[in-house]
Amino acid sequence: MTIKEAKAILKPLGMTLRKRDGEYRVNFRGGSEPTAYFTDCLIDAVETAQAIARGSTQERHAPTSR
């Protein structure tokens, strides 16, 4: 997988991917440093970003108990 392909996968999920100094950084679009995830493996970055996005979506749409 290329970084371009990875970005195309993550963009619709509202996630960003950057590479700097051999490390990949994934985060929510507009996210702050505490919510970022760092790894040296592109596949790990994509899989983790997908899991984060799924968790974020589930939290927003989870039924509330009263």
Terminal-residue alpha carbon distance, the chain: 45
pLDDT of 59 reads: 47
Distances 18 to 11, 13, 30, 37, 40 between C-alpha atoms, Å: 12, 15, 13, 11, 11
CA gap 2, 29 in Å, rounded: 20
pLDDT of 56 reads: 67
pLDDT of 50 reads: 95
Q: pLDDT 10s digit of each residue in the chain, 66 long? A: 999 999 999 999 999 999 999 999 999 999 998 999 999 999 999 999 999 998 865 544 445 454
pLDDT of 55 reads: 87
Query: What pTM does this model have?
Result: 0.79
